[in-house]
Structure 1
Amino acid sequence: MWKRNSFVFTTNEVVDQFIFGVITDLISGEKVEVLCVYAYNSNIERRVLWRQMAEISAGWRGPGMVLGDFNTIRLQSEAFGGAPNVGDMEEFDMAIREADLVEHAVQGNWFTWTSKIHGSGLMKRLDRILVNDEGLSTWPNMRVNVLPWGISDHSPILVYPSNQRSQQVVSFRFFNHWVQEASFMDVVSSAWTKDTRVSPIVNIVRNLRNLKSILRRHFGRHIRTISEDVRLANDTMDRAEREMETNSLSEEASNHASLATVNFWKAVRVEEAAMRQKSRTRWLKLDDQNTAFFHRSVRSRQSSNALRSVIDPDGNRLTNHDQVTQVVVNYFKDSLGSQNISYGELSTSIEEIVQFRWTEECCQALQSPIGREEVRRVLFSMDGGKAPGPDGYSVGFFKGAWTVVGEGFCDVVLHFFETNYFPQG
């Protein structure tokens, strides 16, 4: 079902397990290829569908979407009650990956099917929306809302397409590959100062804040710009290799081709490192040429993390970005830190809940002074690609610039343990 005054659906193919066609947005003229699925109960017959899904999606040159009842689940968390078949789950998950599809975030019910048998308690997530990378680009703010079951055993799913991009504040993010730039240490050291008139915390906050614009100016490039650098480096390498083939005896042409190859692979590594950090995918290694996968991971994560709407305390659904932000802020203000409770009042409650007690040796170890070497050792034991804090600096920045920022970093940590004070925000 669709709004006939906004969209039109043209059917291309109808078979046992799917209907394939094209949805046209009558307002924008955008066309999206759609595969509407109703999978069989048999896993043998579903395997035919998985192959067809991969074949059809491989032929898409624009935005595409697969939606419907897949009659199987992807994760253990998608079933409540019963004994899920692990083999079926793995086959379905692999089918989605082979079709280069990602799952869109949903609002509302998690489970989309219930047995409707009194006392059985069976619930599963059989229905879902899958899109390709171009689909996420076409409808960046698409909302998927899973409604209550009602009289049916399946939940209705509403799709709200939107090609309007929400206006977001562009925040700073430090990319770890900046550390590999030859001028990185010079840039950091030229901007890093030590002011003994203020506390170590104030000093490092000022330095980090002032350094943001400098780092962005020297090294900050959009992912698209980095990808363009790869394309240009590839073109340069191709021209150099053709020139070398024409002048095979020329030492200059040979050196030019070698240098162009080195520059190409350097640009590739920079692009891959940037996309890996942005996708926050840890289980794939660099230099494995997974850039396309990282691109899809970024879009999938952005879609999953996007908060399209919230329901306020009065029961109204809000979709305006500023209103959503205010509701979230108010919720956490009311939930966290809204009551001034002294340690004396709280300690009794904690003792009733927590029965564990540290040994005397552990207590003595916890009270031993913290040294600079311990601070450095703990920091360097962390993954440099860990998610950055609110200021946008990752662990990789502090590790890469340690010879410049290390003293100030240790001063902040030791100051905290000495004074028990750390400012909010």
Structure 2
Amino acid sequence: MVAWNVRGLNDPIKIKETRVFLQQHGVDFCALFETRVRDHKASNVQKKLGNIWSWEDKYGFSPRGRIWIGWKPGVVSVNVVRKTEQCVMVQVASLEQNHVFSLIVVYGLHTIADRRQLWVDLREMVDNVDFPYLIIGDFNAVSRASDRINGTLVSEAETVDFSDFLMEVGVLEAPCSGAYYSWNNKGTVREAWESTGDTRKLKSVWKKLKAVKEALKRLHSTHYSQAHLKVEEFRTQLENVQTRMASSGDVELHQEEEEDLVNKLRHWSAIEDSILRQKARIRWLTMADANTRFFFNAIKVRKARNNITMLQTATGELVNTRDMIQAEIVGFYTKLMGTRAESLPSIDLYTIRTGRQLSYDARTMLSQSVTHAEIDQALFTIDDNKAPGLDRFNALFIF
């Protein structure tokens, strides 16, 4: 079970890291706070976290998705008991262990006055609970000064409501551990291009592009061929830094290092997805999702589709060796298309002259020269993530 203030979930890289975290830790139930995802986008973002999840939210109280509750239907069942502006009460049943308990998920508002209704709602929920219960979430409040490890000093007015609630209902605060895992909002081509040339302009461009291609191949081999390993490396380093932050209590000491690692993780995760998108030759349409598994599977499917392992000849014989398959394909198309003829019969001019013809306006339109504007329009509509052509350059590089 995880309760996590994700501080926004619109960024594809953050969606990917959230999904990876839930997968790596085997989470069956999660509560995500402050997603900042609008109601009409919620279902799409939730799908990107995995199709095995069911979700409950409370957009009726907030348009920014303040609380999302997710669970795996094959492992647990969840029934909503009550919703308020700042909390949701559900009944959770473990399908494997046959355990039932009540869970209150909290995301408190940001001022003392606004949170007063939260304590009233929580008392009512606790008074009417029929099962063992657990309260999790982000209260946006502290019960003692040591709960805040950075920022302004804690005043008594900030702690009194929370402390009184804990004393009145008799609940105990569970000890916490683990990393904060918070999010902070904080040329090769030129050298290759200028290294060669030719007096003939077109030949010069061809030579320059060839030099750039070789330079980019070396750059990719040296720096980007193991992008997925870089992602795992920086993800592990980030978790280690945040663990040290949690254990030492000194956030400022590691804050700069954490911010640097978050930026590196974003950078390499974007590179990894870009490489996979081009290998898969799938246009990045409305998904906008860093969905590594999807593209790995697409690459496998495309490779299998383009590989011929067996053919059946016209006589029904199965051939499965490379040489036999090649010979069969060549023979098939030779028979289909024939061989080069010494002469061809002339066309029937009478049929052409008396048959259906284009109008004068249509012939004029088809014979017009292609304008520069039309060329530019066609070129600039090519998607940046389309796979490279025969010259191994994609549209983003050229334009």
Q: TM-score, normalised by structure 2?
A: 0.43
TM-score after normalising by structure 1: 0.41
**Which structure has the bigger radius of gyration?**
2
